[in-house]
Amino acid sequence: MINLSISQANEGLKTKKFSSVELTQAYLDRIKATDEKLNSYITVTNEIALQQAKKADSNGVFENPLAGIPMSLKDIICTAGIKTTASSKMLENFVPPYNAHVYDRLLGAGSVLLGKVNCDQFAMGSSTEHSYFGVTKNPWDLERVSGGSSGGSSASVAADLCAFSIGTDTGGSIRQPASLCSCVGLKVSYGRVPREGVISYASSFDTVGTFAKTVEDAALVLNVIAGKSERDATTPDVKVPDYTQFLKEDLNGVKIGIPKEYYGEGVDKETIDVINKGVETLKGLGAEIIDVSLPLTKYAIPAYYLLVKSEGSTNMARYDGIKYSHTTDQAKDLEEIYMKSRKEGFGDEVKRTIMLGTYCLSAGYYDAFYLKAAKVRALMKKEYEEVFAQVDALITPTSPFPAFKIGDKIDDPLAMYAADILTVPAGICGLPGLSVPAGFSASGLPIGMQILANQYKEENLFAVGNAFEKATEWHTKKPNI
Ligand code: GLN
């Protein structure tokens, strides 16, 4: 039963084929048996999971499709009474006093928490190698990364260690790991899902979304977590439709743009071939394919990294060794508490964020770096708006290449940043994106197709994604672990 989609599991629960306790226990057994190989979970919440499952069973009706369904949460989502580490030494023993709003919404629907999953420290990275708790391995090849920053989420979904997972995507952290592990990964529009209680990286970019086994499942999860929150002023009052009504099986009348800049230098030929084949499938389903151009894409990486590192450096300022974080035992005075706690508590990528961000924001450099990048951001948004006046969705590869080997890029931060080239534009522009399984490399590594849409047009992603999924079998392939 661990390989069931949410809607299938819901059917099983409703018809009493199995109980939520049985389903939950099956996942807990699977985690126990296989996660030693993957390292996707930081904390497994055995007892809480079984209690929540019992509660779902005693309610008995399973009217909400997520009732009694076991999930994992990226370990930057605050859970009251349950350690939330941001995969860092800084927050190694941090137990939040409250739940993130997104977790409260999921609890309200009756979901079951299996545990907290690994990620790059404070969600900074593209491989989960920046976790204080060690890398999460790719279930398709244990020598390779599961992607990042939400690599624990993608590995746990792909290897059936949960039914779905909640992650965050600032510049690719849901879509890229979903692509590398062969699952469905949904980045929402900025503000579509509340961020309250989710540990911040770059506050004007961060979004909370989901990993799932099918496009329909991603829509079911979004139905529960989307919408204005009185606890997060950045969630606008945009109506939340029932996203499942957009799960189309044909694409008649749908216009799909192919932005040539996403198929250029640095993108593996094998990956492009897979996506081109995917585009043919969409065409066969009735979509009209239109070539489009987004010339500012070439500035996406520098603009993105200047902006997120600036915002990130200010978000990291709160970890001063005193309030709720790691405190050094080597300090003689207050200044040393700050300096040594931060030195000991943060990993290399977080330190790079602080250095780069502080530099960009400093007097004299602000205009040259931060402000310039902010202007590029405004221009890029305009460019995407113009393209989305012509098309309903864009199709691109999600990642320029399949999963890379553990250790390959860890000493070369620029190469790691470049891996995000196809996912950062949606982060910059606050757009939603969906990565769906689209094929495999010759060596058997998953390749994902990215669908992008205009802001708050998540329904377009579901329409295109579902039609593609129904016409292909890639999402049914499972790693042998
Ligand atoms: N790798 C990108 C970064 O470090 C994206 C991370 C993310 O989306 N959280 O900024």
On whether the CB atoms of residues 240 and 274 are closer than 8 A, the answer is: no
Domain boundaries, the chain: 6-248
Average pLDDT, the chain: 97
Mutate to test the pocket of ligand 1, among 145, 187, 420 (most ligand atoms within 8 A of CB): 420
pLDDT tens by residue, 431-449: 999 999 999 999 999 999 9
- What gap in Å lies between CA 416 and CA 349, rounded to an integer? 11
pLDDT(36) > 90? yes
pLDDT(324) > 90? no
DSSP symbols for 429-469 = HT--EEEEEEEE-TTS-EEEEEEE-STT-HHHHHHHHHHHH
The pLDDT of residue 161 is 98
Ligand 1 atom with minimal separation from the 416 CA: 1
> In the predicted model, what is the mean pLDDT of residues 49-64?
96
The pLDDT of residue 184 is 98
- Verify whether residue 74 is a known catalytic residue: yes
| CA distances, 52 to each of 12, 55, 69, 106 (Å) | 18, 5, 10, 12
pLDDT tens by residue, 203-228: 999 999 999 999 999 999 999 999 99
> In the predicted model, what is the mean pLDDT of residues 403-431?
96
The pLDDT of residue 375 is 98
pLDDT(325) > 90? no
pLDDT(133) > 90? yes
| Pocket flag, ligand 1, residue 171 (CB < 6 Å) | yes
| Pocket flag, ligand 1, residue 24 (CB < 6 Å) | no
pLDDT(177) > 90? yes
Span from the CA of 304 to the centroid of ligand 1 (angstroms)? 9
The single residue of 72, 87, 111, 173 carrying the catalytic annotation is: 173
Long-range contacts of 327-333 (CB under 8 A, 24+ apart): none
Span from the CA of 173 to the centroid of ligand 1 (angstroms)? 6
- Verify whether residue 149 is a known catalytic residue: yes
Residues 6+ apart with CB under 8 A from 460: 246, 254, 392, 393, 451, 453, 454
The single residue of 19, 74, 111, 213 carrying the catalytic annotation is: 74
| CA distances, 424 to each of 68, 170, 202, 265, 308 (Å) | 35, 8, 13, 16, 10
For helices 372-388 and 300-315, angle between their N-to-C axes, nearest 10 degrees? 120
% the chain with pLDDT above 70: 100
| Surface-to-core class of residue 125, CB atoms within 10 Å of its CB (0-12 exposed, 13-18 middle, 19+ buried) | buried
> In the predicted model, what is the mean pLDDT of residues 32-37?
98
Ligand 1 atom with minimal separation from the 171 CA: 8
- Verify whether residue 298 is a known catalytic residue: no
On whether the CB atoms of residues 308 and 202 are closer than 8 A, the answer is: yes
The token pair that represents 99 in the structure block: 């739940």
> In the predicted model, what is the mean pLDDT of residues 32-48?
98
- What gap in Å lies between CA 452 and CA 461, rounded to an integer? 7
- What gap in Å lies between CA 216 and CA 193, rounded to an integer? 18
- What gap in Å lies between CA 147 and CA 139, rounded to an integer? 11
Taking each continuous run of H as one helix and of E as one strand, the counts in the chain are 15, 13
The token pair that represents 114 in the structure block: 């299996």
| Pocket flag, ligand 1, residue 149 (CB < 6 Å) | yes
pLDDT tens by residue, 223-273: 999 999 999 999 999 999 999 999 989 999 999 999 999 999 899 999 999
pLDDT(309) > 90? yes
> In the predicted model, what is the mean pLDDT of residues 137-145?
98
Span from the CA of 480 to the centroid of ligand 1 (angstroms)? 28
| Pocket flag, ligand 1, residue 172 (CB < 6 Å) | yes
In sign, the C-alpha dihedral spanning 141, 147, 151, 153 is: negative
The token pair that represents 144 in the structure block: 């390779």
The pLDDT of residue 175 is 98
| Pocket flag, ligand 1, residue 153 (CB < 6 Å) | no
Query: Which one, of 231, 199, 171, lies nearest residue 319 by Cα?
Result: 199
The pLDDT of residue 322 is 92
The token pair that represents 439 in the structure block: 């094929």
Span from the CA of 107 to the centroid of ligand 1 (angstroms)? 27
The single residue of 40, 127, 131, 149 carrying the catalytic annotation is: 149
DSSP, collapsed to helix, strand or coil, labels residue 15 as coil
| Pocket flag, ligand 1, residue 310 (CB < 6 Å) | no
The pLDDT of residue 21 is 98
| Pocket flag, ligand 1, residue 28 (CB < 6 Å) | no
Beta bridge partners of 71: 113, 164
Peptide bond into 19 cis (omega under 30): no
Mutate to test the pocket of ligand 1, among 126, 188, 399 (most ligand atoms within 8 A of CB): 126
- What gap in Å lies between CA 261 and CA 95, rounded to an integer? 44
Query: Which one, of 203, 242, 205, 213, lies nearest residue 226 by Cα?
Result: 242
CATH 1.10.645.10 assigned to 6-248 = no
What is the pTM assigned to this prediction? 0.98
| Pocket flag, ligand 1, residue 452 (CB < 6 Å) | no
Span from the CA of 357 to the centroid of ligand 1 (angstroms)? 14
Which residue's alpha carbon is nearest to atom 5 within ligand 1? 171
DSSP symbols for 270-300 = HHHHHHHHHHHHHHHTTPEEEEE--GGGGGH
Amino acid sitting at position 406: I
The token pair that represents 62 in the structure block: 């399973």
The pLDDT of residue 201 is 98
Span from the CA of 308 to the centroid of ligand 1 (angstroms)? 8
Span from the CA of 172 to the centroid of ligand 1 (angstroms)? 6
Beta bridge partners of 396: 450
Banded pLDDT at 323 (limits 50, 70, 90): confident
